[in-house]
Amino acid sequence: MSIRQQSERRVTNETDQAWQGQADPAQDAAVPGQLQAEFLAKWQQIAAAGQQGTLPPLTDRRFSDPAWQESPQHLLMAHFYLLSANIMQKMVDQATVPDQVRERLRFAVEQWNDAMSPANYFLTNPDALKTFTDTNGESLQKGLLNLLGDLRRGQISQTDASTFEVGRNLATTPGSVVFENPWFQLLQYAPQTPTVFRRPLLMVPPCINKYYILDLQAGNSLVEYAVSQGFTVFMVSWRNPTATDTDGIQKSSWDDYIEKGVLTAIDTVSQITGQPQINALGFCVGGTMLASALAVARARGDNPVASLTLLTTLLDFADTGILDVFVDEAHVAYREQTLGQGGMMTAKELATTFSFLRPNELVWNYVVSNYLKGKAPPAFDLLYWNSDGTNLPGPFFTWYFRNMYLENRLCRAGALKICTESVDLADLDMPAYVYGSKEDHIVPWNASFASARLLSGDVRYILGASGHIAGVINPPAKNKRNYWSGDTMQVQQADAGQWLEHAQSVPGSWWPDWANWLAGHSGRRLKARATQGNAAYPPLAPAPGHYVKVKA
């Protein structure tokens, strides 16, 4: 049973209980009548406009093609659909149920509404019908071939996968693998400047995805940019466990990834560079893992990191946005029963779940374009990465699911033991640069702001435009978007809304701001070394190594 199916089943059960125990009969009896009257009144207006040929065009991009305006019956159908969807959402908004149940109802209704759009079906999509006519039926033939190809692959094609290859035109920043164990490979990138800062930078990406989101194509790579600014950059490339592995990787725990992953990487970078302290960056779940590892190090009396960068990271899981619809004791217990002792949370299930968080953008538009209109998806490096998923060891996933998402224990001092140590994020008093994305649906920006307040050092908080990935991967040369910055002290003294009210909007990428901040914590510059690694850790292979190339 998929996560989405389980969520919908819970919605049904919890809604029944909520209506039985908490509903106001008089109010609930009035709501359907009011909404029915509103629906009929608006439907009559739409029908009258349809008869007179005065239906306005729709701003919803699913119905933006001129074919909808040119076909009165299809345009009328689209208006009726949007009206119905709006009324269904109002029914959820006005239902007398607990907020958590309301959010799950809203999610289920949105899934239904998005799936039932007339744009998703051949006979009710005039754009698809026109394309069929214009191509003498060739579009539908190509669409069928696209569908069969995706069925063989087991996923909807979001990009032309044949265009990309990791190591050829993705993850191409020059460097070497300088360390490897069963959990990760450590990459060290070759310098691109005559001198480099003394203190190196270690990047810890999420193990739920492949690291090269930070090193896409040339000109679209945070790694490439950091190296060009004179930083000596190391990268953790997590292993992608598969069903054929026989060394027990599927039984790896959160502690394994912290001790044998993050802490080992920090120590190795320190040994290679001879620096007692390094700078460290964590992205998304990688940031949660990095903060956990540093809290463990502090509990042991160690202080291996001079500055901390967190990108779209949750440390306080009180607000997990739309992902909250998947989180309850029953679901966590089910996952623990099936995966807690071994096995894997598969990349396919993870990808399906995240796609249905934004189904119109990541599912249905490709159904229309690929299958109904027979188009080949364009080449897009970010979407290729998005489809190149990773599996997660079951014990790692279930521990993370319970202790972070369900019980939110990391943010409470001493509430969590990691690697046998009681951890306290307040021990992290190094300077920190914390980035959130304003339209992030996976790590809501106010939650990343709340997470920043758990750190006790000076925190520079930056809020970027756009979403979870597009906000982060925003090279300066493209001169796109903007970001907001505020006074460092305001992070501890104000809530998210107050901070934003006083923050200043800055055009363009946040990368130069971060590079300038990081330079202030990186020491003086030295002559760049021509080779990577050292005598104890010689280069093993060219970057990007082989872990990142393993398919799920």
| Active centre residues (catalytic) | 284
**Burial of 133 per CB tally in 10 Å (0-12, 13-18, 19+):** exposed
Neighbours of 451 (CB within 10 A): 28
E strand or H helix that includes residue 184: strand 184-189
Q: How far is CA 421 from CA 294, 345, 465, in A?
A: 11, 27, 37
Backbone angles phi, psi at 133, to 5 degrees: -65, -45
Tokens of 440: 């992030």
Sequential DSSP letters for 152-173: HHTS---S-GGG--BTTTBS-S
Closest by CA position to 253, among listed 394, 392, 396, 390? 396
DSSP-assigned letter for residue 97: S
Which three-class secondary structure state does DSSP give residue 406?
Answer: helix
Distance between CA atoms of 233 and 278, rounded to whole angstroms? 10
DSSP-assigned letter for residue 425: G
Closest by CA position to 360, among listed 120, 151, 123, 125? 120
Closest by CA position to 417, among listed 238, 220, 254? 254
Sequential DSSP letters for 467-478: -TTTTT---GGG
**Kind of pairing, strands 459-464 and 432-437?**
parallel
- Find out whether 292 and 207 touch, Cβ atoms under 8 Å: no
Which three-class secondary structure state does DSSP give residue 438?
Answer: coil
Distance between CA atoms of 359 and 100, rounded to whole angstroms? 21
